[in-house]
């Protein structure tokens, strides 16, 4: 049975041995580097087994080596680092061109070793005597048949997720649309205006400065479930670093772009000076690969905010270019022992699945807390909810108050029990509660309008997620919540101008693509027109949603006072938001004081809707040197 290795056998043996050594070396490097990879360990172990099988010289063992050989090729080829490296030889973040050559060589060696081991088996089969042949031929035929079959199925079938490897397609860099129906250069400003938005800067002041650097870079996001999601991130994580500052501070952020396409940072909900608003084609050019850009603004208002790219937001923010910004009040308003923030996000998984995360976890996040402690839990929905519906969340284990919406405090908030909270894309809720004397408090999300799910979840304090999750009851309603109190802007205020904005959807053209479009007053961006305002005016907007979908409408650089829903004035606390969620076939009245000169986007924060047309500008008499369109490559959505 055992015989000396033929030439092919030797090639197979040496090939697998070399690859094993490379695999072990790679493991050692990763373990020393502090990020051991389960996949690479499996890979090296399998290589070792295959090498041993080949060197035995025993025919049937050598034949058996073909199967792990197939698995090895499959494993290797579906590794995210391999896909990424082969896909983008020069810019892959793992190590560029050298890494690419290494990957190709390793791939070649394994393929060669595999081919040689198949050859070796066939050779052995050929040399066999008649007696053996009769006995072994059917076995080898079966093995060969299975191998060929496996290979064919593997080659033809779409990438499937496995327990250890997420076969999620690598991200494709956003493409600048061109061609028919795509604007080349649209200037969003007022030509010949006395002020250019480049003058609308935050001056360097003697106040306290907080400096941060955010580097836009690729990363493989390893989730608790073992799935790895390819992402574009700030500083290698999604959410990016939480920027924690104090009200009144000057925030100075250097954006460094290590991606292969343009990015910006928009400070969502923050009343920045216009030049720092981070909208590609409006307040700046998208920051090119290899370049950097400095944002400087004063954190005027305390509260929960976030940041995200505003260049191809639909692709860039969705795939990880976002993070949280927390502004602590200059004078604390409520006693807080624990201040915790959660970003709800969704990702494209394999096979068109949607993966949901809380911060970087798709399992259970935990946060320590002792009985009796007071917790402020900040929640932001950074996700593109595929259905366009708001994300429903609730808190289980303690009564809670909603103390602020979009970072702005509510007055006299009542305690709630397991009330479902609808969070539109970009909106924030701050919850406030006291830890019970025993047990935990959990934040859970709903997958649909019927059921809460067990993951992702946040568990605060001792214990685990409760065995039974509540059923979904009547949603939180911001129009009746809290206690009325005086507010500078009310329904009775005198408005200098009132604009009606009809939200619609219809088949049409947007960005050169024809299909469904989302419209404002029947038009798609950049033909949606603008809302002209003058400094000091009080402007009322009447949103009339004529679609079957929710639209979280966001205005940059200002804060809305919510006046009425379907014509009914609010009966609870005054509500101030930067993103107002408009239900299907509902209307909302909001008002804002025009107190921040510039050119400001007003758009649906459902990224897909914005991408397909639902954007316009609120305009002061201001010009801009930047343009949106294919000439500059600036596409804010």
Closer CB to Cu ion, 296 or 551, in the complex: 551
Selected range binding Cu ion among 39-47, 117-125, 308-316, 601-609, rule: CB under 5 A: 601-609
Each residue 547-586 as x (binds Cu ion by CB under 5 A) or -, in order, gives ----x-----------------------------------
CB of 604 vs ligand C2O, minimal distance in Å: 9
For 457, other C-beta atoms within 10 Å of its C-beta total: 23
Q: Which of Cu ion, ligand C2O, none does 609 bind, CB closer than 5 to 8 A by kind?
A: Cu ion
Using CB under 6 A as the binding rule, the residues of this chain from 588 to 607 that contact ligand C2O are 601, 603, 605
In the DSSP assignment, the letter for residue 373 is -
CB of 583 vs Cu ion, minimal distance in Å: 11
Q: Which of ligand C2O, Cu ion, none does 214 bind, CB closer than 5 to 8 A by kind?
A: none
Closer CB to ligand C2O, 269 or 420, in the complex: 269
Q: Which of ligand C2O, Cu ion, none does 524 bind, CB closer than 5 to 8 A by kind?
A: none
Counting every residue written for the chain, the total comes to: 637
Selected range binding Cu ion among 10-18, 521-529, 556-564, 598-606, rule: CB under 5 A: 598-606
What does 418-454 look like in DSSP terms, one character per residue? S--EEE-TT-EEEEEEE--SSSEEEEEEESSSS-EEE
Distances (CA, A) of 249 to 179, 214, 242, 307, 333: 45, 18, 16, 17, 18
Q: Which of Cu ion, ligand C2O, none does 603 bind, CB closer than 5 to 8 A by kind?
A: ligand C2O
| Interaction of residue 556 with ligand C2O, rule CB under 6 A | yes
Query: What kind and span of H or E run contains 298?
Result: strand 292-298
**Contact by Cβ (8 Å): 296, 254:** no
Total residues interacting with ligand C2O, rule: CB under 6 A: 10
CB of 268 vs ligand C2O, minimal distance in Å: 4
CB of 277 vs ligand C2O, minimal distance in Å: 9
Tokens of 225: 């479930």
Secondary structure (3-state) at 294: strand
**Contact by Cβ (8 Å): 341, 324:** yes
Closer CB to ligand C2O, 47 or 426, in the complex: 426
Alpha helices by DSSP H, 200-272: none
Q: Given candidates 310, 378, 540, 609, which one binds ligand C2O under the rule CB under 6 A? A: 310
What are the φ and ψ backbone dihedral angles of 391, each rounded to 5 degrees?
A: -80, 130
Selected range binding Cu ion among 71-79, 204-212, 256-264, 599-607, rule: CB under 5 A: 599-607
**Contact by Cβ (8 Å): 380, 304:** yes
Cα(314)–Cα(171) distance, integer angstroms:
13
Q: Given candidates 66, 426, 435, 599, which one binds ligand C2O under the rule CB under 6 A? A: 426
Selected range binding Cu ion among 36-44, 366-374, 392-400, 597-605, rule: CB under 5 A: 597-605
Closer CB to ligand C2O, 59 or 554, in the complex: 554
| Sheet order of strands, 338-348 included | 354-358, 338-348, 374-381, 428-434, 401-405, 408-409
Using CB under 6 A as the binding rule, the residues of this chain from 253 to 272 that contact ligand C2O are 266, 268
- Spatial CA neighbour of 367 closest among 346, 396, 391, 342: 342
**Contact by Cβ (8 Å): 92, 99:** yes
Q: Which of ligand C2O, Cu ion, none does 604 bind, CB closer than 5 to 8 A by kind?
A: Cu ion
Q: Which of Cu ion, ligand C2O, none does 605 bind, CB closer than 5 to 8 A by kind?
A: ligand C2O
CB of 193 vs ligand C2O, minimal distance in Å: 22
Residue nearest to ligand C2O (CB): 268
Identify the burial level of 128 via C-beta atoms within 10 angstroms of its C-beta, where 0-12 means exposed, 13-18 middle and 19 or more buried. Answer: middle
- Spatial CA neighbour of 61 closest among 75, 46, 72, 50: 50
**Contact by Cβ (8 Å): 411, 485:** yes
Closer CB to ligand C2O, 13 or 293, in the complex: 293
Q: Given candidates 311, 313, 606, 634, which one binds Cu ion under the rule CB under 5 A? A: 606
Closer CB to Cu ion, 214 or 549, in the complex: 549
Residue 512 makes CB contacts below 8 A (sequence gap 6+) with 177, 178, 179, 180, 181, 182
Identify the burial level of 536 via C-beta atoms within 10 angstroms of its C-beta, where 0-12 means exposed, 13-18 middle and 19 or more buried. Answer: exposed
CB of 425 vs ligand C2O, minimal distance in Å: 8
CB of 397 vs ligand C2O, minimal distance in Å: 31
Q: Given candidates 408, 428, 554, 558, which one binds ligand C2O under the rule CB under 6 A? A: 554
Closer CB to ligand C2O, 92 or 578, in the complex: 578
- Spatial CA neighbour of 321 closest among 214, 176, 223, 211: 214
CB of 84 vs Cu ion, minimal distance in Å: 33
CB of 88 vs ligand C2O, minimal distance in Å: 28
Q: Given candidates 590, 609, 618, 637, which one binds Cu ion under the rule CB under 5 A? A: 609
Closer CB to ligand C2O, 57 or 529, in the complex: 529
Total residues interacting with Cu ion, rule: CB under 5 A: 4
Q: Based on C-alpha coordinates, what's the Rg of the chain?
A: 29
Cα(607)–Cα(156) distance, integer angstroms:
33
Distances (CA, A) of 213 to 251, 361, 491: 11, 24, 43
Each residue 379-418 as x (binds ligand C2O by CB under 6 A) or -, in order, gives ----------------------------------------
Closer CB to ligand C2O, 266 or 271, in the complex: 266
**Helix 66-78, helix 38-55: angle, nearest 10:** 150
Closer CB to ligand C2O, 268 or 408, in the complex: 268
- Name the pairing type of β-strands 497-510 and 513-520: antiparallel
Q: Given candidates 218, 308, 540, 551, which one binds ligand C2O under the rule CB under 6 A? A: 308
Q: Which residues bind ligand C2O (CB under 6 A)?
A: 266, 268, 308, 310, 426, 554, 556, 601, 603, 605
């Amino acid at each position: 049975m055992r015989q000396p290795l033929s030439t092919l056998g030797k090639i197979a043996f040496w090939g697998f041995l070399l690859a094993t050594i490379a695999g072990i070396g790679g493991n050692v490097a990763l373990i020393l580097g502090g990020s051991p990879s389960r996949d690479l360990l499996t890979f090296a172990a399998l290589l070792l087994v295959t090498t041993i099988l080949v060197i035995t010289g025993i025919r049937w063992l050598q034949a058996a080596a073909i199967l792990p050989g197939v698995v090895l090729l499959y494993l290797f080829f579906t590794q995210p680092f391999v896909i990424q490296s082969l896909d983008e030889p020069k810019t892959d973040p793992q190590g560029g061109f050298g890494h690419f050559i290494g990957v190709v060589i390793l791939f070649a060696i394994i393929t060669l070793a595999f081919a040689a081991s198949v050859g070796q088996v066939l050779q052995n089969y050929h040399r066999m005597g008649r007696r053996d042949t009769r006995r072994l031929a059917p076995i080898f035929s079966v093995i060969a048949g299975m191998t060929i079959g496996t290979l064919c199925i593997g080659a033809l079938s779409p990438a499937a997720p496995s327990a250890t490897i997420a076969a999620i397609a690598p991200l494709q860099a956003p493409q600048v649309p061109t061609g028919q129906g795509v604007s080349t250069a649209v200037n969003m400003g007022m030509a010949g205006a006395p002020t250019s938005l480049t003058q609308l800067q935050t001056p360097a002041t003697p106040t306290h400065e907080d400096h941060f650097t955010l580097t836009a870079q690729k990363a493989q996001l390893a989730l608790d479930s073992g799935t790895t999601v390819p992402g574009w991130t700030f500083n290698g994580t999604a959410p990016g670093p939480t920027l924690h500052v104090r009200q009144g501070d000057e925030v100075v952020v250097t954006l460094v772009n290590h991606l292969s396409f343009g990015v910006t940072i928009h400070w969502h909900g923050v009343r920045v000076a216009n030049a720092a608003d981070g909208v590609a084609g409006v307040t700046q050019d998208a920051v090119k690969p290899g370049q950097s850009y400095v944002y400087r603004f004063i954190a005027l208002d305390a509260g929960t905010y976030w940041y995200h790219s505003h260049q191809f937001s639909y692709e860039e923010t969705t795939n990880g270019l976002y993070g949280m910004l927390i502004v602590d009040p200059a004078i604390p308003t409520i006693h807080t022992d624990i201040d915790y923030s959660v970003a709800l996000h969704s990702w494209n998984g394999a096979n068109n699945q949607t993966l949901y995360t809380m911060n970087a976890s798709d399992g259970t996040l935990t946060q320590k807390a002792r009985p009796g402690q007071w917790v402020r839990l900040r929640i932001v929905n950074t996700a593109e909810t595929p259905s366009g519906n708001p994300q429903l969340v609730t808190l289980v284990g303690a009564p809670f108050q909603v103390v602020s919406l979009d970072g702005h405090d509510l007055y006299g908030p009542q305690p709630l029990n397991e009330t479902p909270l609808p969070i539109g894309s970009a909106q924030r809720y701050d919850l406030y509660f006291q830890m019970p004397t025993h047990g935990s408090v959990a934040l859970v999300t709903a997958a649909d309008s019927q059921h809460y799910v067990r993951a992702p979840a946040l568990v605060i304090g001792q214990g685990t997620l409760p065995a039974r999750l509540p059923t979904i009851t009547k949603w939180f309603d911001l129009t009746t919540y809290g206690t009325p109190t005086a507010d500078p802007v009310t329904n009775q205020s005198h408005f200098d101008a009132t604009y009606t904005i009809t939200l619609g959807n219809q088949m049409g053209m947007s960005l050169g693509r024809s299909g469904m479009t989302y419209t404002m007053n029947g038009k798609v961006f950049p033909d949606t027109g603008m809302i002209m305002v003058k400094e000091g005016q009080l402007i009322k907007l009447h949103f009339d949603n004529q679609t079957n979908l929710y639209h979280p409408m966001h205005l940059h650089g200002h804060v809305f006072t919510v006046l009425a829903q379907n014509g009914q004035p609010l009966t609870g606390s005054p509500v101030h938001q930067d993103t107002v969620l408009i239900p299907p076939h509902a209307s909302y009245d909001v008002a804002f004081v025009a107190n921040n000169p510039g050119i400001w986007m007003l758009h649906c924060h459902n990224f897909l809707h914005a991408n397909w047309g639902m954007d316009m500008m609120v305009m002061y008499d201001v010009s801009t040197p930047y343009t949106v369109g294919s000439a500059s490559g600036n596409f804010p959505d």
